[in-house]
Amino acid sequence: MSSNKIPNIIIAGFTGDRSGSMSSLGNTPSNGLKNWIDEQKQSIKDNGQTGKMFVSCFDSNHIVRIDGENIEDVDVTIDECREWMRPDSMTRLYDSAISDIDRLVKAKQDYEKNMPRSLKNLDPEILVIWACLTDGHDNESESTVEDFRNKVKEARSLGIKCFFLGANQDAVMTGDRYGFDTNQCLTFGAAPEQSANALRSVTQVMREASAGSSNIGFTQLMRETSAPASFNNYINQTPPQVSPPFSMLRAPAHAPPMIPRC
């Protein structure tokens, strides 16, 4: 991977599915979330950065857990993560993800608007990274899949690095329909080792992005160790160029200068 300028400011977001069907994954999503939070904190420390963190989860409702807190100040226990990700009810994916993307975009705009002129003259680099984790299709949102796809594509056009993790589905195909870069989509299985590998992988690639790497994507090894065996015959194939109709997707049920915090 090539290396660019290390960003000065990181805005990191995580949107996690906690619908009832996620129960098959056990504590893996909550453990993965705790590791993701800890790694984001360590990454900005290692790279002399500052930034904001956003974490939400969704079932039939969208619940914001961390709303723009300074990353270095976030203090979350594993028990809190397990409560946040405790499976319940149905799946409000589109509404939740759209709301979270809007929140990330506004956070970047607020940083730019409120930055002192002396800092603006330094032209600091602001990186926004976001991961979306789900195991199923939406069955609760008012927004449509077209709305979600358009929002993801808008986010990417603004430079936001968007990652999609799909459990027990072909996440590359699904992510493609949702507007994600297929290189940044990862399929994972319900087995604890597979789901743990997937969450470690997304944490790793997001940390690489925070450190200034470009062309970020999941490696072949990441795909093989995360996917259920039934998918491993397909992960080398090029995703189809034509997606099925959107109606099929809704299921019935050197280190940078230190930047003061804004």
Q: What is the per-residue pLDDT across 198-209, written as a single tens digit (0 to 9) for each? A: 999 999 999 999
pLDDT at residue number 246 = 39
Question: Nearest to residue 48, comparing CAs of 31, 25, 66, 72?
Answer: 72
249 inside domain: no
259 inside domain: no
Number of domains in the chain: 1
161 inside domain: yes
CATH number at residue 221: 3.40.50.410
- Which residue range forms the structural domain that includes residue 170? 9-238
Share of the chain above pLDDT 90, in %: 73
The angle, 0 to 180 degrees and rounded to 10, between the axes of the packed helices 93-114 and 145-157 is 30
Backbone angles phi and psi of 62, in degrees to 5: -105, 120
Write out pLDDT tens, residues 211-244: 988 879 999 999 999 988 665 544 444 444 434 4
248 inside domain: no
243 inside domain: no
Write out pLDDT tens, residues 110-158: 999 988 888 888 888 999 999 999 998 899 999 999 999 999 999 999 9
- Mean pLDDT value across residues 56-82: 97
pTM of the model: 0.86
Q: Mark residue 216 as left, alpha or beta (left: phi above 0; alpha: psi -120 to 50; beta: remaining).
A: beta
260 inside domain: no
pLDDT at residue number 120 = 81
222 inside domain: yes
- Mean pLDDT value across residues 173-186: 97
Counting DSSP H helices and E strands in the chain, the numbers are 8, 6
pLDDT at residue number 230 = 62
Q: Which residues of 178-192 are buried (b: 16+ CB within 10 A; e: fewer)?
A: bbbbebbbbbbbbbe
57 inside domain: yes
Residue 251 DSSP SS3: coil
- Mean pLDDT value across residues 177-202: 93
Backbone angles phi and psi of 79, in degrees to 5: -65, -40
Alpha carbon distances (Å) from 17 to 21, 96, 165, 212, 254: 9, 10, 10, 28, 37
pLDDT at residue number 117 = 84
Residue 187 per-residue DSSP state = E
What length is written for the chain? 262
pLDDT surpassing 50 at residue 103: yes
- Label residue 38 exposed, middle or buried (CB < 10 Å: 0-12, 13-18, 19+): middle
